[in-house]
């Protein structure tokens, strides 16, 4: 049996896992695809670096073009990250008829449409299961498992680093900075962890999920994004006291054909299954018109979980090669995109205000909500020894984003409101 030769771009956290799985599971893998799988060449930045997995030094190169232009290589596995230059490498590899497996959500969220179009033209596969939610096969699930349904809502914890941070802050009272450093050390965080904590990584993943789920071309600019860097231990405590967990949630939903996609720290009611997803684990909740509620759970980052998805894609490419059906499975969005306006985006809100502790203030506040048609679920004033002002916690019923923006900007002008301390979306 002629071996299938694979070129690897990157031998970091994920690349190392790919080598371990391809070598460690070789017997099973080759039985499934009918050929041995050989990692023929590996591009890295520094060929001298000590590696945590044994690789033949002769296979290493510091030039990705050595991999892409090697006529022996059938499949290029891209796990080095990067956007513009990496896109050029992938497009050239496709031009040369090579199939692509990538874990790169940055690349797929920004240039997925162009890459998939080129793949179709060249009859090549481009699979990217590991790009969203690491070890959870959510992309295959959306494309195949839900092909018969209309997906109405996708709600996910899709960033392992931030879930790891929020969990440790919530359960151990750990500091944000210490937990971020631990996530970096464990290989969960991106090379620049700002994209994790500011929500950009999750936004890119939600653009990919939204595109697949709604079959329309959701772009990164369509996703409204807020990260966790402003979330305080105090906010997490308030959430707990009211029966919520704080999670960085990606939420994509649609009504008729209008969609909205956002990423933000969200207070999730503890009775919702997504509230108990902790640590580096991810979960994606999918609501289909016919199937109803479903949820998919698993590790969202890290060496072996991510590599499991990468190698599963590799198996799928090779099976397609054997059947001669590569390039037929790319999902090209076919629906025109219609984004919801701020008047159409509705959700519950948690608001923590520091206000002057005197008569009539509560009446002023409720008057503002009434003026913009926002109905309230609960209003609680609680004492806080550390704070001479009164603290008022308000949870609204579903309210439009447009109305809430008006309420908050009106609050800015009220003298009695000393500070709008926190505002969070509420789910569940």
* Residues that bind ligand NDP in the complex, under the rule CB under 6 A: 10-15, 43-46, 49, 64, 79-82, 103-104, 130, 134, 187-188, 190-191, 301-302, 306
* Minimum distance of ligand NDP from residue 104's CB (angstroms): 4
* Minimum distance of ligand NDP from residue 298's CB (angstroms): 12
Tell me the residue nearest to ligand NDP as measured from the CB. Answer: 12
Which stretches within 96-193 are classed as H helix?
105-122, 138-140, 160-172, 176-185
Residue 159 found at the interface with ligand HSE (CB under 6 A): yes
Note whether 249 and 157 are within 8 A (CB). yes
Residue 135 found at the interface with ligand HSE (CB under 6 A): no
* Minimum distance of ligand NDP from residue 332's CB (angstroms): 23
Judged by beta carbon, residue 253 or residue 303, the one nearer ligand NDP is: 303
* Minimum distance of ligand HSE from residue 134's CB (angstroms): 5
DSSP state, residue 145: I
Judged by beta carbon, residue 191 or residue 290, the one nearer ligand NDP is: 191
196 binds, among ligand NDP, ligand HSE, none (CB under 5 to 8 A by kind): ligand HSE
Residue 412 token pair? 């800015």
H and E: helices and strands count for the chain: 14, 18
Note whether 4 and 74 are within 8 A (CB). yes
* Minimum distance of ligand HSE from residue 411's CB (angstroms): 34
Residue 215 token pair? 């079959």
Distance CA 283, CA 147 (A): 20
Residue 198 found at the interface with ligand HSE (CB under 6 A): no
Active site residue 240: no
Judged by beta carbon, residue 36 or residue 187, the one nearer ligand NDP is: 187
Judged by beta carbon, residue 130 or residue 138, the one nearer ligand NDP is: 130
Distance CA 249, CA 277 (A): 11
Note whether 209 and 115 are within 8 A (CB). no
49 binds, among ligand HSE, ligand NDP, none (CB under 5 to 8 A by kind): ligand NDP
Note whether 242 and 391 are within 8 A (CB). no
In this structure, the number of other CB atoms found within 10 A of the CB of residue 407 comes to: 23
* Minimum distance of ligand NDP from residue 188's CB (angstroms): 5
| Element holding 254 (H helix, E strand) | strand 244-255
Residue 134 found at the interface with ligand HSE (CB under 6 A): yes
161 binds, among ligand HSE, ligand NDP, none (CB under 5 to 8 A by kind): ligand HSE
Question: 399 to each of 33, 44, 167, 370, how far by Cα in Å?
Answer: 53, 50, 28, 12
Judged by beta carbon, residue 201 or residue 427, the one nearer ligand HSE is: 201
Residue 102 found at the interface with ligand HSE (CB under 6 A): no
Residue ranges of E strands in 12-160: 37-43, 60-61, 75-78, 99-102, 126-127, 151-157
Binding to ligand HSE (CB under 6 A) within 269-308 occurs at 300-301
Is the torsion defined by CA of 323, 327, 331, 335 positive or negative?
negative
What mask, x for binding ligand HSE by CB under 6 A, covers residues 160 to 189? xx--------------------------xx
Q: Which of 41, 98, 205, 226 is catalytic?
A: 205
36 binds, among ligand HSE, ligand NDP, none (CB under 5 to 8 A by kind): none
Torsion of CA 39, 40, 44, 49, to 10 degrees: 80
Closest by CA position to 220, among listed 328, 127, 119, 113 = 113
* Minimum distance of ligand HSE from residue 160's CB (angstroms): 4
Distance CA 418, CA 355 (A): 5
Task: Give the residue numbers annotated as catalytic, written as ranges.
Answer: 205
Binding site for ligand HSE (CB under 6 A): 134, 159-161, 188-190, 196, 201, 300-301
């Amino acid at each position: 049996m002629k071996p299938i030769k694979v070129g690897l771009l990157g031998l970091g956290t994920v690349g190392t896992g790919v080598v371990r799985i391809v070598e460690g599971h070789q017997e099973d893998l080759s039985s499934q695809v009918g050929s041995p799988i050989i990692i023929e060449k590996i591009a890295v930045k520094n060929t001298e670096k000590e590696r945590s997995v044994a690789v033949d030094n002769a296979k290493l190169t510091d030039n990705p073009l050595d991999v892409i232009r090697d006529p022996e290589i059938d499949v290029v596995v891209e796990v080095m990250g990067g956007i513009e230059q990496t896109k050029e490498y992938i497009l050239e590899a496709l031009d040369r008829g090579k199939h692509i497996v990538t874990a790169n959500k940055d690349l797929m969220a920004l240039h997925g449409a162009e890459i998939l179009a080129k793949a179709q033209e060249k009859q090549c596969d481009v699979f990217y299961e590991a790009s969203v939610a690491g070890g959870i096969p959510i992309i295959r699930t959306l494309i195949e498992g839900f092909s018969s349904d209309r997906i109405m809502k996708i709600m996910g914890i899709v960033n392992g680093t931030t879930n790891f941070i929020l969990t440790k802050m919530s359960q151990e009272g750990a500091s944000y900075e210490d937990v971020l450093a631990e996530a970096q050390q464990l290989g969960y965080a991106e090379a620049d962890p700002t994209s994790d904590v500011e929500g950009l990584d999750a936004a890119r993943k939600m653009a990919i999920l939204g595109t697949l789920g709604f079959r329309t071309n959701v772009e990164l600019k369509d996703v409204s994004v807020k990260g966790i860097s402003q979330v305080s231990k105090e906010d997490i405590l308030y959430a707990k006291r009211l029966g919520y967990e704080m999670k960085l949630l990606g939420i994509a939903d649609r009504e008729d054909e209008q969609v909205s996609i956002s990423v933000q720290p969200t207070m999730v009611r503890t009775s919702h299954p997504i509230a108990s997803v902790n640590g580096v684990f991810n979960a994606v909740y999918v609501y289909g018109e016919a199937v109803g509620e479903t949820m998919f759970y698993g590790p969202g980052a890290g060496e072996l979980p991510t590599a499991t998805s990468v190698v599963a894609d590799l198996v799928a490419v090779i099976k397609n090669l054997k059947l001669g059906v590569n390039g037929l499975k790319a999902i090209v969005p076919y629906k025109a995109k219609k984004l919801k306006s701020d008047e159409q985006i509705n959700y519950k809100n948690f608001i923590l205000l520091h206000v002057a502790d005197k008569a009539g203030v509560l009446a002023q506040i409720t008057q503002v909500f009434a003026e913009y048609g926002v109905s309230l679920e609960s209003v609680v004033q609680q004492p806080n020894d550390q704070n001479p002002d009164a603290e008022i916690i308000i949870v609204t019923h579903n309210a439009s984003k447009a109305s809430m923006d008006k309420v908050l900007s009106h609050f800015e002008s009220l003298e009695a409101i000393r500070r709008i301390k926190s505002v969070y979306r509420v789910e569940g």
